[in-house]
Chains A and B, each alone.
Chain A
Amino acid sequence: MTGAVGGARPTKPRTWWKTVVVLAVIAGITVWSSIAIGVDVSAIAENAHNAANTLIQLMQPDYSFFPQTLPALLQTVQMAIIATAVSVAIALPVSFWASRATNPNSVALGIVRFIMNVVRSVPDLLYASLFVTVVGTGALSGIFALVLFNLGILVKLVSEALDGLDRGGQEAALASGASWFKANRQAMLPEVAPVYISQAIYVLELNIRASTVIGLVGAGGLGMLIDQVRTFYQYHYLSLIILEILVIVVLLELLSSFARRRLIK
């Protein structure tokens, strides 16, 4: 083989020991964490009797309870829809404000990004309990909590989508003497629209799920009902509620994937 071009072939680099080290480190961290928080596996065995009872009740949803869940169920869906509509409307201009691609003013960009980071760092349950304290128990607190929770998510996702867009149309609009506002409206909005619609649907799904949880602290919806039945260990009622949530979430997913197909070419 005297005709070989480009010299000898390189030997394959040995990398298996790196994999071993990484796996060992991950295993070490996991063991250390479980010791630190005192994981006691034997507790599962000791409570096995309780667990079995609970599980048996959970497997037997009491359908006669259904009429009593209806108002709360309806409220959950209404809360989710209102919160989605409000947050989707607010999030669009704020997203353009929060993207480097659409806001040339780095000071304004920094301010809005900082505010949105703060908004996003507060969990939905904490928002709910804050609003329950300020506004009072009920659906209104839940809606406020969901709106803030949604804004954090939507502005993050949509502004990052704007960052990643092809900015050719915007450049052309600016070169033709358009202001940034007009260039963004005409060239960037149509490009980001599919992502925006898709995230709006995603947020509606999130809200159905989240609005069941925030009720636990008194912010309306199914969560308040869950809290009641759980307090009285009525697990066959609880399992019906869980079943209802499952049905709504599945229905909504079907609806949203259908809407996505229709809206986004």
Chain B
Amino acid sequence: MNQNGAGIRFEHVGVTYPNGYSGLRDVDLAIAPGEMVAVVGLSGAGKSTLVRTINGLVPITSGEITVGDVGLHGLHGARLRRLRSEVGMVFQSFNLAKRTTVLNNVLMGRLHGTSAWRTLLAAWRKDDIELAMRALERVEIVQKAYANASELSGGQQQRVAIARALAQRPKVILADEPTASLDPPTSHVVMRDLQRINAELGITVVVNLHFLDLARRYGQRLIGLRAGEIVYDGQGTDADESVFEAIYGRSLTAEDVLPSQPVELS
């Protein structure tokens, strides 16, 4: 499971939702292959929109996004699905199918390359099952492979979701507030998993975070969004009080910081 990440380039990207709400405004951004980027901002600042444009879950209305060497504007059908197969995604609410096994959830990452009749009959290739098992091993949850997804705790579910993204053998992993439904110690476990995947496999990781300290700790690079525009782009370690005010429009309070240290999960 060794592959290189893909670069992502935003050129004058704008997103206007059908109701007229402007999600992103003239965003220019270049993310290098293998970079780990944290995106922070208030609710409604466009964090989620930014991440979801990268795999076309939110269509862009102006400008262009290039992932690797594929342009996203107007991409649809089989070509959009091929791009998505190279971009894994981790969601805030885990998005697992609860009534089926963990393994079946991870195999979802292999659907793109599996024929319709194999999907229908659940006749998975041996290689795909092996790949899914190895993805589960990487997030240290392989012993739950045949458990129902609903039996897992929140942190375990999110790690299954990361394994599902890994099973795609992606060039990019997008994480849309992956820790928002988790308690502080579990948040650190999930963030460390993402960091490790980025470091060991060289997959480009773009992660949305609400907590600034998580973003500082785990993102090499920090991007601050406010009202759909980039207001900060720099090293996480350089982000000081004035940067925080630029992003959040007020000064730092205790509520913006996740207190706990990393803890090992059972």
- A residues in contact (CB < 8 Å) with B: 166, 168-169, 171-179, 181-183, 185-188, 190-191, 193-194, 265
Contacts and interface: CB of A to CB of B under 8 A. Distances in A.
Interface in B71-107: 81-89, 91, 93-100, 104-105, 107
Interface majority SS (helix, strand, loop, mixed), chain A: helix
Which of B85, B95, B114, B164 neighbours the largest number of chain A CB atoms within 10 Å of its CB?
Answer: B95
Contacts of B109: 176
Contacts of A190: 97, 99-100, 104
B105 to A, nearest CB: 7
Interface of B: 55, 57, 81-89, 91, 93-100, 104-105, 107-109, 111-112, 114, 116, 119-120, 148, 161, 164-165, 168
Contacts of A186: 97, 104, 107-108, 111, 119
Contact of A176 (B93, B104, B112, B120): B112
A115 B111 CA distance: 32
Given A175-B55, A176-B109, A187-B97, A182 B116 contact: yes
Contacts of A173: 108, 111
B164 A176 contact: yes
Contact of B82 (A168, A177, A193): A177
23 contacts: A166-B98, A168-B95, A168-B97, A169-B96, A169-B105, A172-B161, A173-B108, A175-B57, A175-B84, A175-B87, A176-B108, A176-B112, A176-B168, A177-B81, A177-B112, A177-B168, A179-B81, A179-B111, A182-B114, A186-B97, A186-B108, A187-B108, A188-B97
Contacts of A171: 57, 91, 95
B203 to A, nearest CB: 14
Contact of A185 (B89, B96, B119, B165): B119
A178 to B, nearest CB: 4
A181 B116 contact: yes
B104 to A, nearest CB: 7
Closest 3 CB pairs of A and B: A177-B85, A168-B95, A169-B97
Contacts of A177: 81-86, 111-112, 168
Nearest to B168: A176
